[in-house]
Structure formats: structure tokens, C-alpha cells
Chains A and B, each alone.
Chain A
Amino acid sequence: MGKLKRVFMYLFLSIAAIVSVFPFLWMIVSSTNRSVDVTQGKLLPGPYLFENLSKAFETIDIVPALLNSAQISITTTVLALLIASLAGYGFEIFRSKTKDTVFSILLISMMIPFAALMVPLYRMFGTISQTMPIIGIDTISSVILPTVTTAFLIFFFRQSTKMFPKDMLEAGRIDGLSELGVFFRIYVPTMKTTYAAAAIITFMSSWNNYLWPLVVLQSPVKRTIPLLISNLGSSYSPDYGVIMTVILIATLPTAIVFFLMQKHFVAGMTGSVK
């Protein structure tokens, strides 16, 4: 009886795995086929990967878009981790009633959808552009600044800090470390897994961010990779083979980041929920 149950369980899990992996597989297979094969639903790999690749690199500005995305994502991730972890640490270690209220307000801001903030935000950057074009509309800074830290990330760090052994901080203080010293030399090294998880989350959402860069970036040279992909599908007769190849290239960095930090990621996520 137990064996039968196991068989069913594995059957169910296999189906679920196939369903969730299929789009990814389909993307990889399609990148090796011509557009006609893709539209006809061919499921077997073809010999056209290199043709698609050369077409993609010849006709589409992938490299500049990748560099733009990398610059934005890495800067956002570094800044977001620094700011959010300092904030989360502060909220938890130096707790007071007022700070808890501020924190609740911060959490409420998580519930406002970005679409509602977009127009006022755009207006704000429009005004900033007149005095400080360096961080105004159509600059990389204008993409980074609104996402430089999120309420979720602060919440994430605060929850993780709850399990941090506070005696260690005391020990550091007694040994003569300054408050910032305590943070950077004791807290940061101990919370590596949390940082890894947060880095993956931030990097991925920044890499895939579409709506805000779309409205705020105007010059083609500043385009990020999701904007580039969106354009590829815009024609009346798109080349699906090439599009899939570009998407494949675009997913590689997030995949690499994820696999590099996977071990820490799982530990960090479960740690924060505990």
C-alpha cells in the first residue's frame, strides 16, 4: 500500500515538474529552430542555434543591452542590500514603540501596486530633470533610485535579524567596536545566507524589471534587456527562433547568479521564515 502511494506521489511530482519546466525547455528547443518550426510547434532541437545566434548578434544590440542591465542590476543590488540591511538591523536591534509604528507604515507601502505610483513618480523625475538632468528621466540613475530599496527587503532583513544572537553584539561593544563596526564586522559576516538570498531576489527583480525602465528610459542606447526583448516581438512577422535565442541569453545571468548562491538561498529563505 505504501509503495502504491509512493508511485502516485512520484507520478504527481513528475507531472508537476514537467509542467513547470516545460516553458523553459521549449525556450531552449526553440532557440535551435527556425521561426517556421517554432510556429508549427516543433518539439525537437534543430540545427539552427548558431544561425540564430549570429543573426541575433548581427541585427540586435544585445551586448549594450546586457551591459546596461548588468550595470543597473548590480548597482541596485549592492545599494539595496546595504540600505535594507542597515534599516532592518536598526528596526530590530534599536526597537522602540515609535519605530514599530514607522515599520508598520513601511509595510503598508508594500500594498500599493507600482502601477499606481508610476505617474506621480514619472512626474517627479520630470521635475528633477529640469534642475538635475544627471538623475532625471532617461538616465540609468532614474531606473536605480526608485528601486534602490524596497519595503519587502527591509522586512526580510528585520525578520532575519530576530534570530540573530544579540549577545554577540554586546560582546563586540564591550571589546570596543563602534556601532557601525558592530554592524559590519559582526552582523554582516554572520548573516551571509540572508544576504545571499536577498541578493538573488533583488538581482532577479532588477534584471527582469520591465514597467519602470520602459517608461523612464527613452534612448535606445540605454535599453535594458527586457525592453529589447519586448521590441523583438513587435513586428507583424517576428522571427521566433531569434527571439527565443535572445531570451535564452537574457536568462543566463539570473540563472548563473541563482546557481552560485543556491545553497545560501535555500538556507536564507527557510531561516527567515522560522
Chain B
Amino acid sequence: MKKMLGLLLACALVLGACSSNGGTNSAGEGGNGGDGGDASKITIWAWDPNFNIKAMNLAKETYAADHPDVEIEIIENAQNDIVQKLNTGLSSGTTKGLPNIVLIEDYRAQSFLQAYPDMFHPLTDSFKAEDFAEYKLGPTSVGDTRYGLPFDSGVTGLYVRTDYLEQAGYTVDDMQDITWDQYIEIGKAVKEKTGKDWLSLDPNDLGILRVMIQSAGSWYLKEDGKTADLADNAALKEAFETYKKMMDANIVKIHSDWSQYVANYNSGDAASVPTGNWFTPSITAAADQAGKWAIVPLPKLTNNADSVHASSLGGSSWYVLNVPGKEAAAEFLGATLGSNVDLYQKLVTDIGAIGTYKPASEGEAYKAPNEFFGGQVIVQDFAKWTAEIPNVNYGMHTYAIEDILVVEMQNYLNGKAIDQVLADAQKQADSQIK
């Protein structure tokens, strides 16, 4: 009997320990007991400590100088974790535990804004929309109401190894205004002369297709953001054909995850990367390749008159949730990333983050040459291309459609006719997303 009593006592102790712990913690939160965050504190969720979190910390520092009374807590969560937490929290209808400000990738933004329209706080009056890159406004707005403060630019460029180019008889000047077909031709020459592959691709990530079609002002979905636009999408058809040409030319190295992707370039096994500007730190990580890289404008689609030398890959924006403290949160965003030119200079010098705030490109940091890229003024170039990115509506189903296209792409590479491939994809998408 004594033993049993002891056991029960132990259990009671353990239970008591964990509940008292919970008690102190929730008291520390301010104990307002109701829904949502604490009104006197701004909580922010973001991912990537070296990029978004760092940027927010800089914004916090500048803001704290004028507003010592506002407490700002930045919480790091992986992107997929944020999506999971937001979806659970928002769909269960309880705002308890949700942050005041959250970072959402542009491709996903509409699915949140449309699914939970009352849960986001409009930012229309918090910043001047015309000061930001045009292409960022579509994904962050519903109608004329702005919900997201545009953040980093996903602007793309073509990173290229100049030493391999020279061995193949080309210079950087030959790359300035090229089409994807010319890009492939140069790639074949490079492979022939150096034995190095031209680029590295992941068959499960069709980012390069997204880049190609956005450069022509087209997307997986029609302008309403809800209807799949695959079967009669000329840009997508050409992007598919270009992809196959790359594969058939035998100039593609395959990777299956991010670490392999970066490794293919850091080890010098692949010679060019058509991707977003956020790839810069991965390139510069291989210090021994300094001076061997250049960034040139993105190639454009060969047979599409609308296609330009600018596109976007990735990129995200800040959103204010409709929980207590939303006014303070909106004011914070407006005063920092919404209007502070100096802050954007710091983002470039300290982090290498290129914003989409147009007045910022006049600043000093945007005009500084980068020695790794042979003195090229890369930030200025990226800022210039950012302004040229065609505006498309990413809609609600970008990733759902991409899952379909990944499969159909394999069918296409295995010999299925292109029109049939896209028609089949359209059929699947129509039945799946409605």
C-alpha cells in the first residue's frame, strides 16, 4: 500500500510540476486570457535566420530607436511549419497563439487571403503601393485592398561561370540578350569544350518553368486565379518544349535536394544557374570561385513576343493578422519596411537582401560593385530587372498544379505529345481544384 501511495504521490508531483510550469509561462504572456496576441507586444513569425529574420531584426532596431515602448518579438519557424500552424490556427477559428505579423511566400499568399478573408488586417493605408514593384502587388492584394507589405524581390538572373564560357569561345557580352534556344546552344558548346554540365535541375521542382512563363506574363492559372490555364497556354507549351530541349541536349545535371543543388555549383560541376537573386550567398560560399562568376539578364522565350528578360522565383511579403495589436503592427511595418530608404540600404549591405521598394534603389548600397562577381554592380542590375517583372496572379493553386505538371513532364520527356500532355494536365487540374 505504501508503494502505491508513493506512486500516486509521484504522479501528482509530476502533474503539478507541469501545470505550474504552464501557469508561470502563461502569466508571462501578459495574462490577457482572451483571444489573440498581446496588445502591447508585436509578435512576428518568419523563416530563415540569415535572411528574413535578420531583416526583421534590422527593422526592429530602427523602430525601437523612436518607439522604445513597443516590444517586438521575432519568432523563427520553418516555412512549412508556418503554413501548417497558420492553417490549423485559422481553420479552427481560434486566434489564440497566432502572431501579429507573419511572412508568407507570394505563391501561397492568395490561398490564405481567399480562404480566411476576415483574418487579415488591410494595409491599404499603411504604405504607398505605387512605391513598390508592380509585380508584388497582385499576389499581396485582394481587389484593391492591400493585405501584404511587399518584401524581398524574387527577381531572377542568369549566374554564369565566365571562365568556362571563355573556354568555349564566348564572353559575357554574348549572353546579354539571348533566348532560351541560344542559351541551350551555348550550353552545348560549353559542355563540349569543358566537359561541365550547363545547369543543374531537380525534376520535382519546376521552378524554371514558372520563371519562363512569368517572363511572358503568363501563369499556371488564368487571371481570376482560380481556373487552370494549361491546355491553351502558349508560354507554358514553349517552356515545356524548352525544358525537353535542355534534357535532350544532355547539358543538365540532376539534383534531388537543395544541398546537391548548391554542391553542383560549389564543386564547379555545373556552369550556369537561371534562378532568383537569393541564390547569391550560395554562389559566393565557394570563395575559391571568386571572380569567375557574372550575372546576366535572364534568357527569354524564343517564340513568345511578350517574353522579357526579367522574371521572378520565390519572394515573400509581410501580413498583419486580425488579432489584438493589429494597429501597432501595421504602423510598425509602415514605418520600417514601408518607407525607410536607409533600412533598405542596410538590408543590402548586411544581408544581401534586395527589397522591392523602388525609392531604395537610389541609395548608395545599391550602387556598390561586388568583387566576387568581378566588380559587377549586381544589386543595381537586380533592382533594374525587378522593375521589369511582368505582373501575374499566382492564384490559389500554384503548388497543386505543379504536382500535376511534375508527373506530366515525365510523360512528355518519355515521348508523349505536348498537346496531349497539356490537355491531360488541364483535365486533372480542372477536376482537382474547381
Which residue in A74, A127, A139, A240 is a CB contact (below 8 Å) of B22? Answer: A139
| Among A2-10, A95-103, A231-239, the stretch in contact with B | A231-239
Contacts of A133 in B (CB 8 A): 22-23, 26, 31, 33
Cβ distance A123 to chain B, nearest Cβ, rounded Å: 4
Nearest to A123 among chain B residues (CB) is B92
A270 within 8 A of B: no
Tell me whether A234 and B34 are in contact (CB under 8 A). Answer: no
Contacts of A222 in B (CB 8 A): 25
A20 within 8 A of B: no
Contacts of A137 in B (CB 8 A): 94, 96-97
Proximity string of chain A (237-264) to chain B, C-beta cutoff 8 Å, 1 when within and 0 when not: 1101000000000000000000000000
Contacts of B281 in A (CB 8 A): 236-237
What's the Cα separation between A93 and B93 when bound, in Å? 44
Nearest to B45 among chain A residues (CB) is A218
Tell me whether B84 and A237 are in contact (CB under 8 A). Answer: no
Which residue in A139, A231, A238 is a CB contact (below 8 Å) of B81? Answer: A231
User: Would you list which residues of chain B between 42 and 76 have a CB under 8 Å from chain A?
Assistant: 47-51, 75-76
B285 within 8 A of A: yes
Tell me whether A215 and B48 are in contact (CB under 8 A). Answer: no
Tell me whether B77 and A234 are in contact (CB under 8 A). Answer: yes
Proximity string of chain A (214-235) to chain B, C-beta cutoff 8 Å, 1 when within and 0 when not: 1110111110000100110111
What's the Cα separation between A238 and B48 when bound, in Å? 9
User: Would you list which residues of chain A between 195 and 220 have a CB under 8 Å from chain B?
Assistant: 211, 214-216, 218-220
B1 within 8 A of A: yes
User: Would you list which residues of chain A between 170 and 215 have a CB under 8 Å from chain B?
Assistant: 178, 180-181, 184-185, 211, 214-215
What's the Cα separation between A184 and B278 when bound, in Å? 62
What's the Cα separation between A146 and B260 when bound, in Å? 39
Contacts of A233 in B (CB 8 A): 78
| Among A33-41, A50-58, A154-162, the stretch in contact with B | A33-41
A82 within 8 A of B: yes
What's the Cα separation between A7 and B4 when bound, in Å? 54
A136 within 8 A of B: yes
Proximity string of chain A (74-118) to chain B, C-beta cutoff 8 Å, 1 when within and 0 when not: 110011001000000000000000000000000000000000001
A120 within 8 A of B: yes
Beyond A79-B14, A231-B76, A231-B78, whether A39 also contacts B92 by CB under 8 A is no
A272 within 8 A of B: no
What's the Cα separation between A130 and B95 when bound, in Å? 11
Tell me whether A234 and B25 are in contact (CB under 8 A). Answer: no
Cβ distance A11 to chain B, nearest Cβ, rounded Å: 28
Which residue in B22, B48, B92, B259 is a CB contact (below 8 Å) of A134? Answer: B22
A147 within 8 A of B: no
Tell me whether B22 and A123 are in contact (CB under 8 A). Answer: no
A119 within 8 A of B: yes
Nearest to B86 among chain A residues (CB) is A215
How many residue pairs between the two chains, A and B, have CB atoms under 8 Å in the bound complex? 156
Instruction: Determine which residue in B18, B81, B260 has the highest number of CB atoms from chain A within 10 A of its CB, and name it.
Output: B18
Tell me whether B3 and A39 are in contact (CB under 8 A). Answer: no
B91 within 8 A of A: yes
What's the Cα separation between A220 and B10 when bound, in Å? 29
Chain B at the A interface: SS class: helix
B376 within 8 A of A: no
Tell me whether B18 and A75 are in contact (CB under 8 A). Answer: yes
Contacts of A118 in B (CB 8 A): 88
Tell me whether B22 and A135 are in contact (CB under 8 A). Answer: yes
Tell me whether A140 and B21 are in contact (CB under 8 A). Answer: yes
Tell me whether B26 and A138 are in contact (CB under 8 A). Answer: yes
A150 within 8 A of B: no
Contacts of A227 in B (CB 8 A): 81
B262 within 8 A of A: yes
Instruction: Determine which residue in A119, A233, A236 has the highest number of CB atoms from chain B within 10 A of its CB, and name it.
Output: A236
Tell me whether A122 and B92 are in contact (CB under 8 A). Answer: yes
Nearest to B23 among chain A residues (CB) is A134
Tell me whether A126 and B88 are in contact (CB under 8 A). Answer: no
What's the Cα separation between A127 and B97 when bound, in Å? 12
Which residue in B34, B84, B93, B267 is a CB contact (below 8 Å) of A40? Answer: B267
What's the Cα separation between A126 and B34 when bound, in Å? 10
What's the Cα separation between A118 and B1 when bound, in Å? 40
What's the Cα separation between A136 and B266 when bound, in Å? 48
B85 within 8 A of A: yes
Nearest to B75 among chain A residues (CB) is A220
Cβ distance B349 to chain A, nearest Cβ, rounded Å: 18
B234 within 8 A of A: no
What's the Cα separation between A105 and B202 when bound, in Å? 46
Tell me whether B25 and A236 are in contact (CB under 8 A). Answer: no
Beyond A122-B89, A137-B97, A235-B48, whether A75 also contacts B266 by CB under 8 A is no
A71 within 8 A of B: yes
User: Would you list which residues of chain B between 82 and 135 have a CB under 8 Å from chain A?
Assistant: 84-85, 88-89, 91-94, 96-97, 99
Nearest to B34 among chain A residues (CB) is A130
What's the Cα separation between A185 and B266 when bound, in Å? 65
B433 within 8 A of A: no
Tell me whether B81 and A237 are in contact (CB under 8 A). Answer: no
Beyond A39-B260, A218-B75, A234-B77, whether A119 also contacts B91 by CB under 8 A is yes
12 A-B pairs within 8 Å (CB atoms) are namely: A40-B263, A71-B17, A78-B11, A120-B92, A139-B21, A184-B3, A185-B3, A220-B76, A227-B81, A235-B47, A236-B50, A237-B50
The 5 nearest A-B residue pairs measured at CB: A126-B94, A139-B22, A234-B78, A39-B263, A123-B92
Residues of B in contact with A (beta carbons under 8 Å apart): 1, 3-4, 7, 10-11, 14-15, 17-19, 21-23, 25-26, 29, 31, 33-35, 47-51, 75-81, 84-85, 88-89, 91-94, 96-97, 99, 258-260, 262-263, 266-267, 278, 281-282, 285-286
A119-B88, A180-B4, A234-B49 known; 9 new pairs, CB 8 Å cut-off, are A75-B15, A78-B11, A82-B11, A120-B92, A133-B22, A135-B22, A138-B29, A144-B18, A218-B85
Residues of A in contact with B (beta carbons under 8 Å apart): 36, 38-41, 71, 74-75, 78-79, 82, 118-120, 122-123, 126-127, 129-130, 133-142, 144, 178, 180-181, 184-185, 211, 214-216, 218-222, 227, 230-231, 233-238, 240
